[in-house]
Structure 1
Amino acid sequence: MTMRMNLVVLDMAGTTVADGGLVEEAFATAARHLGEDPAPMLDHVRATMGESKISVFRHLFGDETRAQQANTAFEEAYGKLVAAGRIEPVPGAADAIRTLREEGRTVVLTTGFARVTQDAILDALGWRDLVGLTLCPADTACGRGRPYPDMVLTALLRTGAADGVQGAAVAGDTSYDMLSGVRAGARVVAGVLTGAHDADTLRDAGATHILGSVAGLPDLLARVEA
């Protein structure tokens, strides 16, 4: 018998939340804060969208102190942009989440941002009560974000929503979202085209399905389970 996908793990920025390139804008602010020119670093930032931001800064700046300073500056800059109303839900995302929950599925929102930034986004969108659990890298046992599978597995362990990883579906807009879902063993790893990476990049990273947006996820899960 096919296992029903009772756990759905969704990325935020680019997947359920449209931020119009605010990650790059906040990164540029953080780099300049450290006296660095952000332009030579932007290709790496784009390639690693979805990864824990502190991991990105460790790669770029090497020194832990400077990486932490850059991360703090990034989170502050992004938070100000959020507070200024520069984000909005991806069209149909909130309705899709409600549909999934009405179908008896547990939905968990995940991010590569720090908790303070994740909470700022949830507050700005009025999404505090939209799902029962939200996770950031610091919420995992090892403090690791994507492309590690930790947030997906933490969602499974904390909610007990599925009997195993084959009862989980993951959706995101970046290659790191796809790698995280594949490494966790999720049965559906859906790439959406509302964010950072294109269909070929998502497929190369292991996407099992490609969707125009997360709004199509309820229908996809229904087809897979049929």
Structure 2
Amino acid sequence: MRTDTPAGVLFDVDGTLLDTTYLHTVCWWEALRQTDQPVPMATVHRSIGMGADKLLEHLLGPERDRDADGKLQEAHDTLYAEYWERLTPLPGAADLLRACAERGLRVVLATSASEHEVGALRRALNADDVVDTVTTSADAQQSKPAPDILVAALEQSGLAAERVVFVGDSVWDVAAAGKLDIPCVGLTCGGTSRGELAGAGAVAVYDDPAALLATLDDSPLTRGR
């Protein structure tokens, strides 16, 4: 591994740095209920981490009325926006980003949230002073588990895949990173179990950002950098 090129950490945001996984679950559940397409909440939760297009495909199948997808997305977005002023960072989230920056790592928020939603996420996280690059849904043709948003994050930050680690909370995050041979560190704070994340290929699993921060210098984020 070359050590004369910049190193960095790509972070998923929803469910990884901010406590939003179950908010998205409730909002998609309600959007589906409003359109007479009820799906059990536990099933919805298992799909969070995918983009809206793949989430609806996963939940409703390829034979669904695709003309209704836009209305479902709009309903979800309207419901979710009601929470924007109450979004809460997960324990240690901002401190973890700052600790990475202090160690010379570029901090990249690799999110596929929409541009206006990203603004709310950044305000809640309150760590813009150490964030190098932020992506949005406009930067990716396909959502996770496709790796498009990670490709965009690398291109925009000037980082190489062999010099980064991705931190995420879902099996979809692990799958996306794996397609680029990027090591993925999993966090269980989004509601996915340690066994599921490890089984999907996560190189290490921690409870939340605070737990990762506590052993940062012995973690894959800094080891060998």
Q: TM-score range by the shorter chain?
A: 0.7 to 0.9
Q: Deviations over 1:54-112 (max 9, x none)?
A: 321244443222111101110111111223x1x21111110110111122211111334
Q: Which amino acid aligns with 1:169?
A: V
Residue ranges of structure 1 left out of the alignment (5+ in a row): none
The percentage of counterpart residues that share the same residue type is 24
TM-score w.r.t. length of structure 1: 0.85
Shift of 1:211: 1.6
Which residue matches 2:34?
Answer: 33
- The secondary structure found in structure 2 opposite 1:210 is strand
> What aligned pairs does 1:1-226 form with structure 2 within 5 A after superposition?
3=3, 6-19=7-20, 21-39=22-40, 42-61=41-60, 62-83=64-85, 85=86, 87-140=87-140, 143-161=141-159, 164-186=160-182, 188-215=183-210, 216=212, 218-219=216-217, 220-221=219-220, 224-225=223-224
CA distance change for structure 1 residues 222 and 185 in 2, over 3 Å: closer, same or farther? Answer: closer
Question: Runs in 1 of length 4+ with deviation above 4 angstroms?
Answer: 1-5, 127-130
Deviation, structure 1 residue 129 = 4.3
Question: After superposition, what is the alpha-carbon deviation per residue over 1:109-145, rounded to whole angstroms, capped at 9, x for unaligned?
Answer: 13343332222222344345451322233212xx212
Q: Cα distance 1:125–1:158, how it changes in 2: closer, same or farther (>3 A)?
A: closer
CA-CA distance at 1:168 after TM superposition: 1.0
Matched residues, number:
217
Query: Which moved further from structure 2: 65-74 or 118-127?
Result: 118-127
Cα contact 2:89–2:124 (8 A) shared by 1: no
| Counterpart Cα distance in 2 of 1:123 and 1:193 | 23
Structure 2: 5+ residue stretches without partners: none
What is the TM-score with the length of structure 2 in the denominator?
Answer: 0.85
Q: Aligned partner of 2:23: which letter?
A: L
- Between the aligned partners of 2:122 and 2:20, the Cα distance in structure 1 is 13
Considering only aligned residues, what root-mean-square deviation do their CA atoms show, in Å?
Answer: 2.3
CA distance in 1, matches of 2:194, 2:68: 35
Partner SS, residue 175 of structure 2: helix
Pairwise CA distance, 1:225? 1.3
